Amino acid sequence: MRTIMVLNAKGGCGKSTLSTNIAGYFAHAWEGRFGLIDFDPQRSALDWLKRRPGHLPYIAGFDGYSNGIASVPADIELLVIDPPARCHGNELERMVSYAETFIVPIQPSPIDIGAASKFIQELHDLHRVQNKEVKIAVVGNRVRENLKIWGDLERFLNSLKIPFVTHLRDAQNYIRAYSRGMGVHELPPYLGRDDVAQWEPLVKWLESKQSVPKQRKVVPLQAEMHPVEAAAAELANL
Ligand SMILES: Nc1ncnc2c1ncn2[C@@H]1O[C@H](COP(=O)(O)OP(=O)(O)O)[C@@H](O)[C@H]1O
Ligand SMILES: [Mg+2]
């Protein structure tokens, strides 16, 4: 099973938005058995799944808050994990033990960047991370303009060899997609095009070996999963 977690201790940075969009992207672009597990008592990811129209590719939902990670059946090929907010210490260590690929969304404000730097340092010091059993990338979220605010964070990430893969804009499409139980990749192309383009570096990273720890001997996406041809053609036409 491939496991991807969107992690940051800060509430409201976009964990559920990115989790649902990653699940939506893979369900849209790949054929396979997809799962989304929600560890947050607010249940935003599970509420999104409830809104998902029946004609869209199926994503199985799991209540991690009530039932834990053991509720996910072994035949799920790709699992997206939405963790709780304020995850530190032992709880952070437990969450980090559930996944191999981590995405840290950060909003472009000095408060968020300062808090995220401390969080990334805490993450980086964990045994599993030191042992190179996981891969981490950072994503700027709700970015309104080309701000010069990221400089120090980028230098810090460089020193830890953590890539800053993309900036996602602040857009009504994320609200729209959430309320329809979709990811931005599943919106009509005339609506979603700009956001899909911003997701490109992130999905490329997730589909590459760079997002999979070396110690793991399997291909990034399991052999049984195939790209959906229509989705691939759509991306090629962007
Ligand atoms: N890129 C974005 N553009 C617009 N709104 C966003 C974006 N990312 C998140 N939001 C909104 O910000 C709020 C917090 O996001 P959410 O994903 O629930 O954060 P978290 O799960 O980290 O608490 C939600 O109302 C969500 O719709
Ligand atoms: Mg959330």
How remote is the CA of residue 124 from the centroid of ligand 1, in Å? 25
Residue range of the domain that includes 82: 2-220
Residues with C-beta less than 6 Å from any ligand 1 atom: 11-17, 44, 85, 141-142, 168, 170-171, 174-175, 178
What pLDDT score does 227 carry? 74
What pLDDT score does 4 carry? 97
Residues 19 and 40: their CA atoms lie apart, in Å, by 12
CATH at residue 48: 3.40.50.300
pLDDT along the chain (238 residues), means of 10: 95 97 97 97 97 97 96 96 93 95 95 94 96 96 84 91 96 98 97 97 96 73 64 62
Q: Is residue 227 part of a domain?
A: no
Index of the ligand 1 atom closest to the CA of residue 19: 17
How remote is the CA of residue 217 from the centroid of ligand 1, in Å? 35
What pLDDT score does 228 carry? 77
* Number of domains the chain contains: 1
3-state DSSP of 185-228: HHCCHHHHHHHHHHHHHHHHHHCCHHHCCCCCCCCCCCCCCEEC
Q: Is residue 104 part of a domain?
A: yes
Q: Is residue 127 part of a domain?
A: yes
Q: Is residue 76 part of a domain?
A: yes
70, two tokens: 């053991």
Q: Is residue 43 part of a domain?
A: yes
What pLDDT score does 234 carry? 63
What pLDDT score does 218 carry? 54
Q: Is residue 62 part of a domain?
A: yes
What pLDDT score does 230 carry? 63
209, two tokens: 């070996």
Residues 185 and 87: their CA atoms lie apart, in Å, by 29
Residues 112 and 13: their CA atoms lie apart, in Å, by 8
Q: Tell the residue nearest (CA) to atom 10 of ligand 1.
A: 14
Q: Is residue 228 part of a domain?
A: no
Q: Is residue 238 part of a domain?
A: no
How remote is the CA of residue 238 from the centroid of ligand 2, in Å? 30
